[in-house]
Copies of this chain bind each other. A is one copy, B any other.
Amino acid sequence: MITGKNYIGNNQSAKGSKTYKTFNPLLNIENETVFTEATSDEINEAVVLASEAFRTFRTISGKKKAAFLNAIADEILALDDALIQTYCSETGLPEGRAKGERGRTIGQLRMFADLVTEGSWVEATIDTAQPERQPMPKSDIRKLLVPLGPVVVFGASNFPLAYSTAGGDTAAAFAAGCPVIVKSHPMHAGTGELVASAIVKAAQKTGMPNGVFSNLNSSGIEVGSQLVKHKGVKAVGFTGSIKGGRALYDLAAQREEPIPVFAEMGSINPVVMLPKALKNRNESLAKTYASSITLGTGQFCTNPGLLLGIKSEDLSEFIQNLSNEILKIEPSVMLHPNIIGAYENNKKKATSQPELNVVASYDAEVKTNYARQTITTVEGKTFLENPTLHQEVFGPYSIVVQCENAIQLEQIISKLEGQLTGTLIAEEDEAAQYPEVISALQNRVGRIIFNGVPTGVEVCPSMTHGGPYPASTDSRFTAVGIHSIKRWVRPFSYQDWPDELLPNELKNENPLRISRLVNNKQTTDKI
């Protein structure tokens, strides 16, 4: 049952007076539960508890952390229909999507459980002593990755499960040994509370310290600001808008003790279409991209918002085909009136720019909160000179830029802000003829795709979900996959430390049988 209360550690609490409700965009009505925003005292209590919990949580074994992570997955599954129904009522997204996203969320939790059970992720590095070395003896030094401390997680509106309460940021932080305080997303506060209840149950069942997790309701910016500024908080994970992410980054950088913020933010995910591919696959490309642009009502951070080609008859034909195809697609509902409002505003701002042509715009009547897909086109020169056209229009919108030639294409790519993804549409034998274009694209993105669509972020070790600013606030990390744990850990070295006092990962006997770099050789052997 959803209570509308916060979780301060294992206890439910609602001391505040500020309340709010979530919204069902399909029915265009508010949902019933009244959520009580966390008070300043409650926020402080959550952080103090997290700091206390960190004292023990940071050194518990990988196996115990795995038990916790797997228990969270089990408890989320046990929420069953209640979770799926709440998810749908708070997003307007279909049941299939809810279940798919739940599967992904469960999968991520179990992936991190496997990672910490195996244990080699700590990158144990050992250089044994050389007491006879001249002119100075060499000490025994051993390094491993250790957790940073309490992490605050801000979930995304568009992924209420996989990038929210028990999403990738939270799973990675728990795996690292960091307590988590979630600033609950106001648009899916009920889904968030249900997932939070699953985490709390899992923590209690597996004997985790109280405070390892808290879930704070919030409908404005105050709760998040207070959290990020709190001395006890040591890192921040965020998925959302550039404006929101940057505000948190600035707050964290201005602290007396600055802390790392990994914010995954906006992206227009440029798609570069080379001439031969456009000639050979014009219609199928138009179909594929009409579908990718409107997938999930365009509410993906990897939505292709920018298509780049070199002027030609084939490009004109593609624009025509794309326009035809996208108008065949039935409009769908967006997550929230605020999101459709922002979509309409941003689209209006984009389409009112000089020398921009709207080539396809769904005109028929649609239900409230449904988004009308739109395709625009512009000359390369105009696009180069007008940064407004580079801004993300979150929703089923895309702009096709018609470049004069390959040089202008490369110029445009080089001028783009950082992006999560870049896509190259090309015949195999033609890609090699555009090394500068490819090189420019690589330099602006975190992931580059050949002949595919950017939507769909596979959860696997080789994934980079991040990229140069503003795709993320720190391109040196990924938000998805096992390596996302590196956001929440730091290297720590022991010098001449007695073997029996070392953590198991670094002991001579290698009791965990993990892979370690010992005197420059990767091995699972004992010393």
Q: Interface on A for B, CB 8 Å cutoff?
A: 55, 58-59, 125-127, 136, 138-139, 141-143, 146, 148-149, 249-250, 253-254, 257-260, 417-418, 428, 431-432, 438-439, 442-443, 446-452, 456, 458, 460-464, 466, 468-470, 473-478, 483, 486-487, 489-498, 500-501, 515, 517, 520, 522
Contacts and interface: CB of A to CB of B under 8 A. Distances in A.
B447 A493 contact: yes
Contacts of A136: 456
Contacts of A447: 141, 492-495
A501 B143 CA distance: 37
Contacts of A450: 494-498
Contact of A497 (B448, B463, B496, B500): B448
- Residue among A58, A417, A438, A474 having the largest count of chain B Cβ atoms under 10 Å: A474
A495 B428 contact: no
23 contacts: A125-B461, A127-B460, A138-B458, A141-B462, A148-B476, A149-B443, A253-B253, A257-B468, A258-B469, A259-B469, A260-B474, A446-B490, A448-B493, A448-B495, A448-B497, A450-B494, A451-B496, A452-B496, A461-B517, A461-B520, A463-B493, A468-B490, A476-B489
Nearest to A123: B483
Nearest to A146: B442
A174 to B, nearest CB: 18
A501 B462 contact: no
Given A432-B501, A446-B491, A449-B495, 14 more contacts: A58-B443, A127-B460, A139-B452, A141-B460, A143-B462, A257-B418, A260-B474, A428-B498, A431-B498, A447-B493, A450-B494, A452-B496, A463-B493, A464-B490
Closest A-B pairs by Cβ, 4 of them: A253-B253, A464-B493, A447-B493, A141-B462
A84 B448 CA distance: 49
Nearest to A142: B462
Nearest to A135: B100
Contact of A464 (B143, B474, B515): B143
A115 to B, nearest CB: 10
